């Protein structure tokens, strides 16, 4: 029996399965030694390494593909290599904040999602390849506590965003003078950049510790040209004008239904010709003032349930606070005039900014009453279309409360270090000096840096210009994303946009139920819009696929509840 137990213990220590040895002894006669029977199990348990006892559980976890790469790890992967970090010395992990920026064109959003290409997926893979994430943890981002400050949708960009996770800050193989940031950036494409890695407190959470977020939206001013005569939306406005004239003898929609742009350009041209003319449109000072007045109604605390998906008016999480909102003076870039619209709010729900832009454009180009914005904060649920994701970028998340806490904590630590340094001068005993030096070293390890993007401002501005602004402008010039969006709105069938009346009130026929989709109407509008555009079927298919992907994302969000839906916030 003693020999059998020794073999079982040895097998466990080498990772073998003791049960295979047990079968060899099952047929052997044995005399029972009571002393050995009582002491051997405890000895075997004490001698069995913890890692060996949990090998089976670890293998099951690895097979789950929690990294979101869409691939199932095999025996040739680094995580299955016995010579990887599991077999050598474990390098210490530290909780850090990773500041980074990216251009979102060609990606299915920021957040890791199994089977699709995402920004986080590429960044996490780069950290794994650089050795900052061990092979054991590389199979699942949750094992290093990966969190994001703001989630961005498909095609949306960020000059500054932030991830919190645990990383190995000094991985093996770093060259002299090379930093972890240098190595990771060498592994990433040029349109994804890591700005810096900052040690943070263990309780830091990228999402929960973020006080507010700053976004920017670039919008071509031609979107405020009223609907084209003959379109469904123009016909609706003509009907509203006639009703207004019949009731009051006056109308506020005269300049909208008979706009100077269409009088000068004409209404018989195709989509491409219309778009070339629209690029020469310039926003008047009075129109800009009205648009700013409409936009200012978003300021403060409001119920934004109409500006997201899957939430009802009574849901308290829909109450959001907008701290600052600005619209720049127009700037001509190439042949097109643009405005920069900036949002500074505590937090934003899924599609909130794109829908805020959508309503701003609808009210601004149709002559609808400005009070419609306030009506949309009320209980009636209406259909507000999303503006294209192309123009949206995250400027940066803000961590004021955390930074204040860090400064206060650092001040306390500095006082303690000065106090101990003073006591060192009074007590020159070698033992005391050595002990206090150790204490000061421990205190120094508790110091943390504030989270700030100021040191990276120049690099971020250059990155924004090259990889975000220029690509937004060139993409719009090549594809007319905003023009196609307007076209589909103008040919939309149904009563959804009847709220665009001069009084700014929501009629009963506009109210929709939570979770109600308009896929059929939207698809007919898109097909009609694309049918008027010159070009091959591939462009139509690409646009249709992109629109369907947007609908699928909304449909997925409708099924989420509570904390699950919070992951869709930015």
DSSP code string of 386-430: PPPGGGEEEEEEE-HHHHHHHHHHHHHHHHHHHHHHHHHHH---H
- pLDDT tens for 332-369 read 999 999 999 999 999 999 999 999 999 999 999 999 99
Domain membership flag for residue 330: no
Domain membership flag for residue 446: no
pLDDT at 110: 95
pLDDT at 90: 82
Same domain, 228 and 374: yes
In DSSP terms, 162 is beta-bridged to: 99
pLDDT at 173: 87
Section 528-539 average pLDDT: 45
- pLDDT tens for 204-226 read 999 999 999 999 999 999 999 99
Domain boundary among 143, 176, 209: 209
Section 221-243 average pLDDT: 97
Domain boundary among 152, 180, 209: 209
Section 47-54 average pLDDT: 48
- Reply yes or no on whether the pLDDT at 31 is more than 50: no
Same domain, 168 and 181: yes
Cα Dmax for the chain: 112
pLDDT at 25: 40
pLDDT at 129: 96
Domain membership flag for residue 437: no
pLDDT at 428: 59
Q: Are 538 and 400 in contact (CB under 8 A)?
A: no
Section 287-292 average pLDDT: 98
CATH code (residue 507) = 3.30.70
Section 386-399 average pLDDT: 96
- Reply yes or no on whether the pLDDT at 169 is more than 70: yes
Same domain, 228 and 196: no
Q: Which of 28-42, 75-89, 121-135, 175-189 has the lowest mean pLDDT?
A: 75-89
Same domain, 197 and 126: yes
Same domain, 127 and 236: no
- Reply yes or no on whether the pLDDT at 12 is more than 50: no
Banded model confidence at residue 548, pLDDT cuts 50, 70, 90: low
- pLDDT tens for 73-117 read 444 333 333 334 444 568 899 999 999 999 999 999 999 988 899
Domain boundary among 177, 209, 241: 209
Q: Which of 37-51, 79-93, 301-315, 423-437 has the lowest mean pLDDT?
A: 37-51
Distance separating alpha carbons of residues 355 and 219, to the nearest angstrom: 13
Distance separating alpha carbons of residues 168 and 90, to the nearest angstrom: 10
Annotated binding residues for substrate, written as ranges, equal 215
Banded model confidence at residue 64, pLDDT cuts 50, 70, 90: very low
DSSP code string of 337-352: EEEEEEEEES---TTH
For residues 65 and 423, the model is more confident at 423
- pLDDT tens for 447-467 read 999 999 999 999 999 999 999
Q: Are 65 and 71 in contact (CB under 8 A)?
A: yes
Same domain, 49 and 75: no
Annotated binding residues, written as ranges, equal 215
pLDDT at 56: 53
Section 504-510 average pLDDT: 96
CATH code (residue 97) = 3.30.70.580
What percent of the chain is modeled with pLDDT above 90?
Answer: 65
Section 404-412 average pLDDT: 95
pLDDT at 405: 96
Same domain, 284 and 376: yes
Same domain, 372 and 519: yes
Banded model confidence at residue 567, pLDDT cuts 50, 70, 90: very low
Distance separating alpha carbons of residues 518 and 381, to the nearest angstrom: 14
Q: Which of 180-189, 313-322, 512-521 has the lowest mean pLDDT?
A: 512-521
Distance separating alpha carbons of residues 243 and 471, to the nearest angstrom: 45
For residues 568 and 260, the model is more confident at 260
Known catalytic residue: 26?
A: no
DSSP code string of 257-316: HT-HHHHHH-S-S-HHHHHHHHTT----HHHHHHHHHHHHTT-EEEE-GGGSSS--TT-G
Domain membership flag for residue 476: yes
pLDDT at 349: 95
Distance separating alpha carbons of residues 525 and 520, to the nearest angstrom: 9
Domain membership flag for residue 478: yes
Kindly report each contact of residues 466-471 with a partner whose C-beta sits within 8 Å and lies 24 or more positions away, as own/partner: 467/103, 467/157, 467/190, 467/191, 468/103, 468/157, 468/159, 468/393, 469/218, 471/103, 471/105
Same domain, 102 and 8: no
Nearest Cα neighbor of 553 from 215, 310, 318, 207 is 310
Q: Which of 29-33, 98-102, 264-268 has the lowest mean pLDDT?
A: 29-33
Same domain, 102 and 41: no
Domain membership flag for residue 324: no
Q: How many domains is the chain partitioned into structurally?
A: 3
Domain membership flag for residue 184: yes
Task: Note the helical H segments in 446-508.
Answer: 457-463, 470-479, 481-490
Q: Look over the chain and give the mean of its residue pLDDT values, rounded to a whole number.
A: 82
- Reply yes or no on whether the pLDDT at 527 is more than 80: no
pLDDT at 58: 47
Section 258-285 average pLDDT: 96
Same domain, 371 and 239: yes
Same domain, 187 and 290: no
Domain membership flag for residue 472: yes
Structural domain that includes position 71: 56-79+87-209
Which of these is catalytic: 26, 33, 153, 554?
Answer: 153
- Reply yes or no on whether the pLDDT at 492 is more than 50: yes
Section 375-394 average pLDDT: 96
For residues 293 and 10, the model is more confident at 293
- Reply yes or no on whether the pLDDT at 542 is more than 70: no
């Amino acid at each position: 029996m003693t020999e059998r137990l020794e073999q079982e213990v040895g097998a466990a220590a080498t990772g073998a399965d003791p049960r295979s040895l047990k079968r060899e002894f099952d047929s052997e006669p044995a005399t029972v030694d009571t002393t050995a029977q009582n002491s051997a199990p405890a000895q075997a348990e004490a001698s069995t390494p913890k890692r060996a006892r949990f090998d089976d559980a670890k293998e099951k976890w690895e097979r789950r593909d929690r990294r979101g790469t869409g691939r199932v790890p095999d025996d040739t992967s680094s995580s299955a290599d016995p010579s990887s970090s599991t077999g050598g010395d474990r390098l210490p992990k530290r909780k850090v904040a990773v500041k980074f920026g990216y251009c979102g064109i060609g990606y299915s959003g920021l957040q890791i999602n199994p089977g699709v290409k995402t920004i986080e997926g590429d960044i996490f893979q780069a950290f794994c390849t650089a050795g900052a994430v061990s092979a054991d943890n590389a199979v699942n981002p949750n094992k290093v506590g990966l969190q994001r400050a703001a989630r961005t949708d498909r095609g949306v960009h960020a000059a500054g965003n932030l991830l919190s996770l645990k990383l190995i800050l000094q991985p093996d193989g770093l060259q002299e003078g090379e930093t972890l940031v240098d190595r990771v950036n060498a592994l990433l494409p040029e349109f994804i950049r890591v700005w810096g890695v900052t040690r943070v407190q263990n309780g830091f959470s990228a999402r929960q510790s973020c006080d507010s977020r700053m976004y920017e939206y670039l919008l071509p001013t031609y979107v405020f040209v009223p609907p084209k005569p003959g379109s469904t939306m123009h016909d609706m406005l003509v009907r509203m004008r006639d009703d207004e004239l019949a009731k009051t003898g006056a109308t506020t929609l005269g300049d909208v239904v008979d706009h100077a742009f269409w009088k000068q350009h004409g209404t018989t041209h195709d989509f491409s010709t219309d778009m070339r003319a629209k690029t020469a449109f310039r926003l008047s000072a009075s129109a800009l003032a009205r648009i700013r007045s409409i936009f200012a109604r978003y300021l403060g605390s409001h119920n934004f349930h109409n500006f997201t998906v899957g939430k009802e008016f009574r849901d308290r999480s829909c109450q959001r606070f907008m701290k600052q909102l600005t619209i720049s003076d127009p700037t001509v870039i190439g042949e097109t005039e643009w405005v920069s619209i900036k949002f500074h709010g505590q937090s934003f729900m899924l599609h909130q900014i794109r829908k805020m832009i959508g309503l701003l454009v609808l009210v601004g180009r149709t002559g609808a009453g400005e009070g419609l914005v306030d009506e949309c904060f009320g209980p009636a649920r209406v259909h507000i279309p999303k503006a294209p994701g192309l123009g949206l970028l995250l400027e940066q998340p803000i961590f004021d409360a955390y930074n204040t806490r860090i400064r206060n904590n650092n001040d306390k630590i500095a006082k303690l270090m000065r106090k101990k340094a003073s006591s060192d001068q009074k007590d020159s005993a070698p033992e005391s000096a050595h002990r206090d030096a150790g204490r000061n070293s421990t205190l120094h390890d508790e110091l943390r840096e504030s989270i700030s993007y100021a040191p990276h401002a120049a690099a971020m501005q250059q990155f924004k210009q090259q990889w975000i602004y220029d690509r937004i402008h060139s993409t719009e010039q090549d594809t007319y994303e905003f023009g196609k969006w307007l076209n589909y709105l103008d040919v939309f069938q149904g009563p959804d946009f009847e709220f665009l009346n001069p009084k700014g009130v929501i009629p009963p026929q506009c109210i929709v139920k939570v979770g109600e989709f308009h896929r059929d109407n939207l698809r007919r509008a898109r097909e009609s819009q694309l049918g008027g555009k010159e070009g091959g079927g591939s462009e139509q298919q690409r646009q249709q696929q992109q629109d369907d992907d947007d609908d699928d994302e909304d449909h997925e969000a409708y099924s989420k509840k509570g904390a699950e839906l919070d992951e869709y916030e930015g």
